[in-house]
Amino acid sequence: MGRSRRTLPEELLLLALDPATGTTAQPQSLDLGLAGAQLVELALAGRIAPDGDRIAVVMPRPTGDPTLDSALELLRRRGSPVRAVHWIGGPRLGLRQIYLSHLERCGMVHAVAGQMCGVLPTTRYQATDTAISRDIRSRLDSAIRTGVPPDPRTAALAALAHAVGLGKHLYPGNEGRSSRSRLRDLIRHDPMNGLVAHAVMDVQNGVAAQPRRSQAVGQGSGGPRQGAAATATAMPMQPQHRGSMARAAVH
């Protein structure tokens, strides 16, 4: 996987970053979405695939992205397909901060130190190249408003954005209702997208303990399972990123 292309976790985070405040929308669910975005990115890279209502490693070869490869290795160690809710619902261990620090090192955002209530230190992040964020948003808008089937990456981004609740942030109010509905509909564009998106929502709704009894991916009506699937425990923090967690989390 070449690093000339932004990964889905990076794009989801940039989409959630408010250019006016330097904070991320839906911070709690965004961590879940980033874990789900890792799964979809690995699927797009041909490393994992849906197996009924679970996720299976089909090619353990590294992608070249250290953060994704840590996730892939944990999946590989399980030795058998696992449910996505077990991965997404596990301890996130600063996944959002890991990706913010990565974007900062890549020069796509810069950190702005501040204080909350004049006492508590905070860190906000401003995009350094707004053209990148505009391009991401433009792809999403086009997929929603033109009705043209989107490319797999944009469809996945739309599904993840809906799953973490970014619809009301991107398309607010009554005038954005149809766009939010279309965002939701794009979950059905691909079985993997649906599997991961529903897993993210199931974890948020507290229904991750048992698999749903609806049809499995690729069976029945051919739509994605409305439950969740697969994966082990959450990705451990990369050692080189531990220092970044000394800064206050983004609100």
> Residue 178: is its pLDDT beyond 70?
yes
pLDDT tens for residues 72-98? Answer: 999 999 889 989 898 898 776 688 889
C-alpha dist (Å) from residue 82 to 53, 88, 171, 176, 233: 9, 11, 34, 36, 10
Q: How confident is the model at residue 232 (pLDDT cuts 50, 70, 90)?
A: very low
Per the prediction, the chain carries an average pLDDT of: 80
Q: What per-residue confidence (pLDDT) applies to 233? A: 32
Q: What per-residue confidence (pLDDT) applies to 226? A: 36
d(CA 245, CA 24): 16
Q: What per-residue confidence (pLDDT) applies to 219? A: 36
Lowest-confidence segment of 55-59, 68-72, 107-111 by average pLDDT: 107-111
Q: What per-residue confidence (pLDDT) applies to 142? A: 93
Q: How confident is the model at residue 20 (pLDDT cuts 50, 70, 90)?
A: confident
C-alpha dist (Å) from residue 201 to 207, 208, 226: 9, 9, 10
